[in-house]
Structure 1
Amino acid sequence: MQRGARGALQEQQWDKAMDKTMPDLATAVARIEDGMTVMIGGFGGSGAPIELIHALIDRHVRTGHPRNLTIVNNNAGNGHVGLAALIEQGMARKLICSFPRSADPRVFTELYLAGKIELELVPQGTLAERIRAAGAGIPAFYTPTSFGTELAKDRPTEDFDGRPYVRERWLKADVALVKAHLGDPLGNLTYRMAARNFNPLMCMAAAYTVAQVSRIVEPGGIDPENVVTPGIFVQAVVEIPHPAQEEDLNRANARYPEVA
């Protein structure tokens, strides 16, 4: 009986040691430093981790850091919230994305035309595959997309079966910020509908992944068959029961941080 009690205690201690739950947003983003490459999930507002982005902005407002970030995202943000707000604060040195022009991209457009932010334009399928390749340990691959355009300038090419292909390299990140639906303390995640988009790929391609989830359930509370992102790819989980939606914020003419 004593051995059984000790075994149960050891199991509890092991579970606690594996707990990736963060107490708050500030702690969740504390590891992001100057000059890092940060992947931010989302397809427009769908699956965008607004609260994590705003927490990173809060830290920058308080301390002046982080800055000189390279941001990887599908687009360049909209309005003055989320990714657009991060760019507006001057935190990003470079943006790697597929759609720098979206519904309301004025923040990025103005800074880009002023020469204050760099842009690496990547076709959407190529962007997804570069991220996936990094997670799969594939350093490079070939695609016909962009051949013969300015996007393929100075990139190696090769013919396969009489068709030209462009060589693309994997795309890694120091940190990924993602939004999921359910998570558990071990980092296992599920996503809600279209919010899945780039998020699972980015979890795999980053050295350190932070996930905001609508609800944290107990270990085992997610059916293993329903897990989309296994916990091995996630290092931090923070619960945000009522996450903001970028489109709703923009319809309300929101701005982050709020202007006094």
Structure 2
Amino acid sequence: MHFYKGINYYDSPTIIMGRIMNVDSALGGINDGSVVAISGFNIAATPEFLILKLYERYRDTGHPRDLFIVADTLPAARERALDFVAKSMIKDGDFDFIRGFMLPFLGVAPWLQRLAIENRVEAYSFPIGVATKWFRSVASGIPTITKVGLGTFLDPRQDGIYLNDLARERRTCKVELVSINGDEYLLYDCPKPSVGLIRGSATDEFGNLTMSEEAIYSSVLAITQAVKAQPNPGTVIAQVLYVSRFVNPRDVHVPGPLIDHIVVSPPEYHMQSASVKYDPSVCGRFMLSNACLSDNDVPDFESAIARRIVLEFVNLVERLGKPITINLGIGIPALAARIIKSEGIDDYITITVESGPWGGIALGGDDFGVAISPRAIIPMPDQFIMYEGGIIDAASLGFMQVGPNGDVNPSFLSERVTGPGGFPVIAHGTPRLYFAGAFTAGNRDIVVKNGKLTIVRDGSIIKFVKKPYKIGFNAELGLKAGKDVMYITERAVFRLTSEGLVLEEYAPGIDIEKDVLAKMEFKPVVSRHIRPMDSAVFREGPMRLLDVVTNAIRR
């Protein structure tokens, strides 16, 4: 007889109804060839215990095998959860457990990337917002049709959603060009999931699932609905940390009748993010009034880029005369969250993260998707409606390459398969885009001091190229949609126009010809009104932006 947190499982109504059980019994009904939907944004809301135990079951028995995995983002971090499974498959040389996957993001999962690059399994990738929409569409019995991806690598006239040759050959998931009333759209399709592996914080004795201690909601409810929808309703297995006698009905995220089996996880496989075991400020239990992860005093060249991004957001507050809502992408743009907080202007610039948090301080790296002291957390499908519909005011996204007409490759190289992530949906819908990143790549020594930028040793890899490897943002379509688009680096700021890129600003201390124009594979238009970047970006100490935004709001 098993006791946990004072609950005798075998005396509870849930056990009588057969929902709470040991993990082997819960996973025992998953058949060979199943399509398994898994929740999770990196480790946040990822049922890591269920994933590892399912793979352990395969290694012990040879079953289930030939699984096809679909997810709303990425249920993994480096060598954790699904990436640990991929590592083990490669080390063992056994590729029969997973026959393929559709994962929107692989950036923090190097072993899953290897499975795709080495053509070991079928590998497909929808944008995150399309994947969340797809789960809801499956639940509703309707096709997933959107303009997201037109004119980019996702368009079947370019590469499509196929990450390797096995995917191009088998087409288990597909993207097609369709016409509705003379307009072009993309139709995304994948097989309906027969199994759902989800995660919540606790369940009550009737199986109702709450996510009250999770950092995000992910697409847990949408995945559950997709699995349970007709035809052929499937099996939903939930991982929880606690069993409670009572859960407030208003806190129930997934009603008990939609869940077939519940497994209690050891705490080490139920963390809020890759490095956060439990922090009440992450799940909204309380807000830290003094939360700040940067003193914003001595900028390096990456934080100088982040400071210039923040200046553009402040300029937007001034132009609109109201607070704004934004999105920050992974990498250098995410650093802007710390600047906004340390400048004390987070009441006027609300940051959203793809996974669902609004406000607070977004974490980076393998913890990306989680925020400290968010003011609101909404389900990820709803968050992406905000992006696709252009409901937010602006976004700053990273770039790897920029082409002569402003096309952006966010992250793709021949030897690196990261997936589109949330980039295509945000770039498609958001009315103002500030692409941000270092001007060059490679081994660099770039110094920020006394309001100037000094390039001691420049990177050898050029990022402003004649032809980007893949297109994630189509500049021509962006201009047609009336978007305001800028490209912000540590040494130069460009604006997108019908003539291509226009160089508008340069960093104090650099030589425009030697440090900018000579390090590009094409020649941009140089503005007749070119000016130095604000030296405050390169100086120690805060930029004192609170007075600027408060005065703008008062006008």
TM-score strictly above 0.5: yes
Which is greater in Rg?
2
Letter of the 2:118 partner, please give it: A
Map of 1:95 onto structure 2: 101
Letter of the 2:242 partner, please give it: R
Map of 2:217 onto structure 1: 196
Rate the CA distance shift 1:61–1:13 in 2: closer, same or farther, 3 A: closer
Q: 1:97: Cα distance to partner?
A: 1.3
Contact (CA 8 Å) 2:38, 2:75: kept in 1 or not?
no
The C-alpha deviation readout for 1:40-96, integer Å capped at 9, x for no partner, is 111011011111111112111211222211111212733323111223333211110
Contact (CA 8 Å) 1:132, 1:204: kept in 2 or not?
yes
- Correspondence list, 1:51-130, <5 A: 51-73=49-71, 74-75=73-74, 77-88=76-87, 89=89, 90=95, 91-100=97-106, 102-103=107-108, 105-130=109-134
Structure 1 position 183 matched with structure 2 position 203: yes
Letter of the 1:93 partner, please give it: R
Letter of the 2:241 partner, please give it: S
Q: 1:193: Cα distance to partner?
A: 4.1
Q: Secondary structure at the match of 1:84?
A: helix
Cα distance in 1 for partners of 2:70, 2:250 equals 29
The C-alpha deviation readout for 1:118-176, integer Å capped at 9, x for no partner, is 111101111001011222x222132111123343326141245x643222347521111
Q: 1:37: Cα distance to partner?
A: 0.7
Letter of the 2:185 partner, please give it: Y
Contact (CA 8 Å) 1:70, 1:95: kept in 2 or not?
yes
Rate the CA distance shift 1:19–1:63 in 2: closer, same or farther, 3 A: closer
Map of 2:274 onto structure 1: 247
Rate the CA distance shift 1:142–1:41 in 2: closer, same or farther, 3 A: same
Letter of the 1:132 partner, please give it: R
Rate the CA distance shift 1:13–1:212 in 2: closer, same or farther, 3 A: closer
Match of 1:152 among 152, 155, 158: 155
Cα distance in 2 for partners of 1:224, 1:240 equals 23
Structure 1 position 134 matched with structure 2 position 154: no
Contact (CA 8 Å) 2:200, 2:214: kept in 1 or not?
no
Give the fraction of aligned pairs with identical amino acids, expressed as a percent: 24
Comparing both structures, which one devotes a greater share of its residues to helix? 1
Letter of the 2:80 partner, please give it: V
Q: TM-score, normalised by structure 2?
A: 0.39
Cα distance in 1 for partners of 2:116, 2:240 equals 32
Cα distance in 2 for partners of 1:56, 1:228 equals 24
Gaps of 5+ in 2: 1-10, 90-94, 157-174, 228-233, 278-365, 367-555
1 or 2 for the larger relative contact order (CA 8 Å, sep ≥6)?
1
Contact (CA 8 Å) 1:143, 1:165: kept in 2 or not?
yes
Q: Secondary structure at the match of 2:197?
A: strand
Q: 1:115: Cα distance to partner?
A: 1.2
